[in-house]
Amino acid sequence: MEARLREKLEALTLDHEHLAETMATPEVAMNPNVYRKHAQKYAELSDLVNAFVRYKHEEEGLGEAQRMLHDENDADLLDLVREEHDRLKISLEKREEELRLLLVPKDPNDEKNTIIEIRAGTGGEEAALFAANLFRMYSRFSEIRGWKIKVMNSNVTGLGGFKEISFQVTGESVYSLMKWEGGVHRVQRVPNTETQGRIHTSAVTVAVLPEAEEVEIAIDPNELQIDVYRSSGPGGQSVNTTDSAVRITHKPTGLVVMCQDEKSQHKNKAQALRVLRARLLAAKIQEEASVRAEERRSQVRTGDRSEKIRTYNFPENRVTDHRIQLSLYKMKEILEGDLIDLLDALNVADRAARLAE
């Protein structure tokens, strides 16, 4: 391992130890906000420090094996030592690569809760039905992860699909995984309404927005146009009887947010403002981040089939992620929420790309 890398790892190990000591002091332990901040940093460093401890342990083992190869005369024992020496040498190379990946800075939004927007694109009713499939997929995945989902706005079609649906996902490290879902999802299958068995191709757009705190995105009330109207579709007694639905227009940007799934106007307004802050934060990320400046723009385009990140092929039971050229032949399981193999592969590819920069 090169000296500069080792020095950095040793310094971060000391930081990790110092954080543990600081968190144990009364002034920090009694302040929930400060303690939470320290605990988050401590947790971020723990994986790196633990990996470095394992590296140093194997490094000591390799050094001992090298000494034995130099000093030992027993032929049988030498064979065993050579095997251990070769194993440790390969293992240390892998551990050093792991450490380099762990040193790549995390996305500052990774721990945030997330707002997801799904919209039917090319394909009409079939696209709307697939939008419902994706919503179910994310709901099942969230259930597996122990996350909670809250629908904020939806537009249901006659066959039970969604022209659009937006929902909030809360839980641990939601954005770190869900951010890879942003983009155009293409589906290839034979619709129920197809009488000749022909495969149709449809597209659905998914936008993934890290949820913004009020302190991150300040909204001037004077820059908002707020309209209320009667909600439509399923929703109970308040549907079509009270002006509970809310539409907010942000005048400086032209962004429009609508929420109608809550029964009260006050709650719909709060939901709409939450979505608006998330969209404004996404726009801010575009402007400030050099590498990820195109993130939001690449997520939501026109819904055209050519602008795809993933294809779901029903006849082949195949899901292909075109960003990393990965195909998995377990589409049914994926649509039931088994997304982790895809998302882990995307995380690894992203870290490797950023490490190479």
State pLDDT tens for residues 167-188: 999 999 899 999 999 999 999 9
What pLDDT score does 309 carry? 93
What's the CA gap between 127 and 125, in Å, rounded? 5
Mean pLDDT value across the chain: 85
Q: pLDDT tens across 269-282, in order? A: 888 888 888 888 87
165, 118 Cβ separation under 8 angstroms:
yes
Whether 104 shows a pLDDT value over 90: the answer reads no
**What is the C-alpha to C-alpha distance for residues 194 and 237, in angstroms, rounded to an integer?**
37
**Where on the phi/psi map is residue 124: left (φ > 0), alpha (ψ -120 to 50), or beta?**
left
Query: What pLDDT is recorded for position 356?
Result: 66
Give whole-number Cα distances, 74 to 77, 89, 267, in Å. 5, 22, 79
Crossing angle for the helix pair 75-103 and 3-23, nearest 10 degrees? 70
Highest mean pLDDT among 33-42, 132-141, 220-229, 304-313: 132-141
pLDDT digits (tens, 9 = 90+) for 256-272: 888 887 778 888 888 88
Q: Is 280 exposed, middle or buried (0-12, 13-18, 19+ CB in 10 A)?
A: buried
pLDDT band per the 50, 70, 90 thresholds, residue 150? very high
pLDDT attached to residue 293 = 41
Q: What is the pLDDT of residue 114?
A: 93
pLDDT tens-digit profile of 200-213? 999 999 999 988 77
- Residue 294: what pLDDT? 47
Rounded to two decimals, what is the model's pTM? 0.66
Q: Is the pLDDT of residue 236 over 90?
A: no
Q: Average the pLDDT over 329-343 and give the result.
A: 96
pLDDT in tens, 46-92: 989 999 999 999 999 999 999 888 877 778 788 888 999 999 999 99
